[in-house]
Amino acid sequence: MAASRLAAGGPVGVFDSGIGGVSTLAAIRGQLPREHLLYVADTGHLPYGERPQAYIVERALRITEYFLSCGAKAVAIPCNTATAAAIEALRARHPGLPIVGIEPAVKPAARLTRSGIIGVLATSGTLLSDRFHALVRRQAADVQVLLKPCPGWVTLVEEGGWPAHADRLVAEPLEDLHRRGADVLVLGCTHFPFLIEAIRRHIGPDVPVLETGLPFARQLQRLLLTLGLARVAGEGGVSFFTSGDPAAVARRLERLTGRRATVERLPEPYC
């Protein structure tokens, strides 16, 4: 894809394994209110965090094909697991297409810690990835980084409700990080900001909890501006798609954001 063929009027494709990336939409809309976003919740293939890398690469390529079929001018991946697994393969396949990924807030956490110990909560896929380990080597070489895969948190967010075991599920990794001296926490999965109230119930109001929705949105904005691809007029919006059940995703959207939206099923070859 040649960059010159990308049209500023085209939409921006945004995808996550599910509803998690929605936690970054307010930041994206705040930075880029004129853009039209196509948001794909790949719930037919959730959770990415437990999938092999090749599986996620295949999904990322497929979803990007869908975005390109809609005339997308850029792709944004507000999913730490998908970024870690697939952004290099996507860039190699589409060298002219602007692609922005997200990464856990390891750098600001390493600057902020006083104990010299930070805790990163993310999926196993992210925490085991080469990309994440390179980030830690680059940005946090002189602090101790404790890793917490948080099994079940993504499902809690996707399925909603608050089952009897939910408090324990949220508390366990947090208590362990506290016991081991972490004084700054990083939410390295876009689903986790939706659990912030439960997290705060366990850690109190003072521990810094960092996520990267805003820097991610700013990076997308910078890229579109630099390439002359930002829309300069008109009002933007978001259209939602899923590889899973559209009614279920619409219910999750309403539960988590209070907004009602139509969710369409992705056309067959992309599901």
Residues forming contacts to ligand DGL in the complex (CB under 6 A) are 16-18, 20, 46-49, 79-81, 123, 126, 154, 189-191
Write down the least CB distance from residue 155 to ligand DGL, Å.
Answer: 9
16/183 with CB nearer ligand DGL: 16
HSE on the CB side for 215, CA within 13 Å? 11
244/246 with CB nearer ligand DGL: 244
Catalytic residue among 70, 150, 189, 271: 189
Helix axis angle, 196-203 relative to 166-179, nearest 10°? Answer: 50
- Grouping H, G, I as helix, E, B as strand and the rest as coil, residue 157 is helix
10/119 with CB nearer ligand DGL: 119
66/194 with CB nearer ligand DGL: 194
Which H or E element spans position 244?
Answer: none
Question: What's the CA gap between 100 and 95, in Å, rounded?
Answer: 13
Given a contact cutoff of 8 angstroms between Cβ atoms, the answer to whether 230 and 7 are in contact is no
123/221 with CB nearer ligand DGL: 123
User: Bridge-partner residues for 14, per DSSP?
Assistant: 39, 76
By Cβ distance, which residue is nearest to ligand DGL? 49
Ramachandran sector of residue 255 (left: φ over 0; alpha: ψ -120 to 50; beta: rest): alpha
Write down the least CB distance from residue 18 to ligand DGL, Å.
Answer: 6
183/216 with CB nearer ligand DGL: 216
Task: Provide the edge-to-edge strand list for the sheet that holds 99-101.
Answer: 99-101, 74-77, 12-16, 36-41, 237-242, 263-265
Write down the least CB distance from residue 131 to ligand DGL, Å.
Answer: 12
Write down the least CB distance from residue 213 to ligand DGL, Å.
Answer: 11
Given a contact cutoff of 8 angstroms between Cβ atoms, the answer to whether 188 and 104 are in contact is yes
Question: What's the CA gap between 149 and 159, in Å, rounded?
Answer: 19
In one-letter notation, the amino acid at residue 94 is H
Write down the least CB distance from residue 37 to ligand DGL, Å.
Answer: 17
Has 79 been annotated as catalytic? Answer: yes
Write down the least CB distance from residue 16 to ligand DGL, Å.
Answer: 5
The beta-strand segments (E) located in 79-142 are 99-101, 117-121
Residues serving a catalytic function are 79, 189
